Amino acid sequence: MPYCPPCDRHFRLENSLDQHIRAIHPRTYCWRCERHFPHERAKEQHIENSLRHHVCTRCYHEPDFHSAQDLDDHLIEDHYACIPCQEFFDDDDDLLEHDVDVHYKCRTCGRFFNSRSNLINHRKIHAARNVECLGCSRMFISHSAMMLHLEANTCESGSDQESIRELVWEYYEINGRWNHDHDDDFDCYYCGAGFNQLSALLQHIESENCHARISNYDSLFDHIEKSIFNS
């Protein structure tokens, strides 16, 4: 038979007991744990210390969530919280910038990575294929990927690493940029870094490590493209 311990009173129906508790003991009864407490402060201490309660203290009405994950989701969505750092931000944009800079979050799909380099590599899957091969109609996500395709002899034009190197040398000689004393075949015009493959140079330019612009190599690309189709 339903029973109220503080009142030492029995009820015929469970619903009657519930109505009684809501009317007489709303501040001292924990519905989730089905426990009575001698006073309101005892109930508050129970909620603060119990692993079954997950309260948001930033909300005026202090909602109690069923799980820690539900509370974390609420803090992130409504209070712009970074759970690992235990920091709160003014808005969703500030939280996103923090997650991108500190926790390497992908802006496109929301995934987190353990390093900036892994995030940069991941971003490539979201990149549009808008770079057309200089020797065929295939499209690539970057100029370095396109050039690697040419150097690897996977292009229908028949180009390979050696033929690309010869075309670059030819371009350098025509434009007076050839340095016979340079140990590397391809150097960055901006920082001077040297590389043995043109694709490696282009990958360097596309990275965040250099401020060079890929557009500065447009005339070289034109020379390679014309030479391939005229061969």
pLDDT tens digits for the chain (231 residues)? Answer: 888 888 888 888 888 877 887 888 778 788 788 788 888 888 778 878 888 888 888 887 778 888 889 999 999 999 999 999 999 999 999 999 999 999 999 988 999 999 988 998 888 788 778 899 999 999 998 999 999 999 999 999 999 999 999 999 899 888 876 554 555 578 888 888 889 999 999 999 988 788 889 998 899 999 999 998 886
Residue-by-residue DSSP string for 159-190: --HHHHHHHHHHHHHHTT---TT-SSSEE-TT
User: Yes or no: is domain 1-52 CATH 3.30.160?
Assistant: yes
For position 6, what pLDDT does the model report? 80
Report the alpha-carbon distance of residue 54 to residue 67 in Å, rounded.
6
Residue ranges covered by each domain of the chain: 1-52, 131-230
**Phi, psi values for residue 222, rounded to 5°:** -60, -40
For position 4, what pLDDT does the model report? 83
pTM flag (> 0.85): no
**Phi, psi values for residue 131, rounded to 5°:** -110, 115
For position 95, what pLDDT does the model report? 95
Q: How many CB atoms lie within 10 A of CB 224?
A: 23
For position 179, what pLDDT does the model report? 54
For position 224, what pLDDT does the model report? 94
For position 183, what pLDDT does the model report? 52
